[in-house]
Amino acid sequence: MIEYRYGILSEKTREILAELGIYPIEEDFKGESVCNVIYFDETLPEIIEEQYLTRTPVEDTGWEEKWKEFIKPGNLTDSIRYEFDASIQSDENTIIINPSMAFGTGTHPTTKCAAELLENVCSGKNVIDAGCGSGILAITASKRGAAKVYAFDNDPVALFNTYENISLNHIDNIYAWAGVIESFRGEVQVVVANIITSVLKIIHPHVMALRPEYIIYSGILDSEYGEFISSLKLEGCEVAGESSHKEWRGVLIKCR
């Protein structure tokens, strides 16, 4: 994968990238506004006309083989199992994961909390997985009947891993990109975010701006849960469900 850095992108270029399911990461670099675009190979300059400022290969650290020594397959929810062996057949109740360096093996309690709340509300709906890591929650939504799933992460390694896991599970309705939630332009009914509470608080206004039917937040410690819920401006929404594993909590918020 290659990270291309551009200046301000034209509306035409943004439309081309959006058709490819790519949303640029906008940031300040040395006092100038720039847009970073992660792409699989060297053909991006052939697709869009604008000249990039820098081009940087995204390096592989070699960690992706070592994880196999430490984690084992198991149950993500009561009805969904995760496996790490690509020779096992993926089906509606089995997710094949190569977690590489991305968060989301299925073993962590916060992933389980999010998946349990997600699997019952996503059928027939458009879902966005904010901070997708390995893509396991996006894949869960797809296997539970989501119409479209949008998945993003600001870590290019995570994005590469997401695409790999989408392929392992033979899924064709997940659209993944490197970016942030502010860059998303589209209609969704479900937002799921499995991130630490400090980041959940930051993205919450942007999540609310999407006007979803359901919001699922996970990554909340028991000791933080009460304060976290109180801090959210739910604006007519209400807590509709909870999930907990060990010292972690997830919450389902119904908005309309």
Q: How many domains are contained in the chain?
A: 2
Q: 93 with 154, same domain? A: yes
Q: In what order do the strands lie in the sheet with 54-57?
A: 25-29, 32-39, 2-6, 54-57
Q: 47 with 114, same domain? A: no
Provide the pLDDT for residue 242.
97
Residue 77 domain-assigned? no
Q: In what order do the strands lie in the sheet with 94-96?
A: 74-75, 81-83, 94-96
**CATH no. for residue 109?**
3.40.50.150
Q: 49 with 94, same domain? A: no
Q: 95 with 36, same domain? A: no
What are 111's two structure tokens? 């992933």
Q: 165 with 39, same domain? A: no
Residue 175 domain-assigned? yes
Residue 137 domain-assigned? yes
Q: 102 with 180, same domain? A: yes
Provide the pLDDT for residue 29.
61
Q: From first to last of its 256 residues, what are the pLDDT tens digits of the chain?
A: 788 888 878 878 877 876 665 767 666 666 677 887 877 778 888 888 889 888 888 765 554 555 555 568 999 999 999 998 889 989 999 999 986 655 677 888 899 999 999 999 999 999 999 999 899 999 999 999 999 999 999 887 788 889 999 999 999 999 998 888 988 888 999 999 999 898 999 999 999 999 999 999 999 999 999 999 999 988 889 999 999 998 899 999 999 7
Those residues with Cβ within 8 angstroms of residue 10's Cβ, 6 or more apart along the chain or in another chain:
50
Cβ atoms of residues 184 and 128 within 8 Å:
yes
Provide the pLDDT for residue 66.
52
Structural domain that includes position 20:
2-57
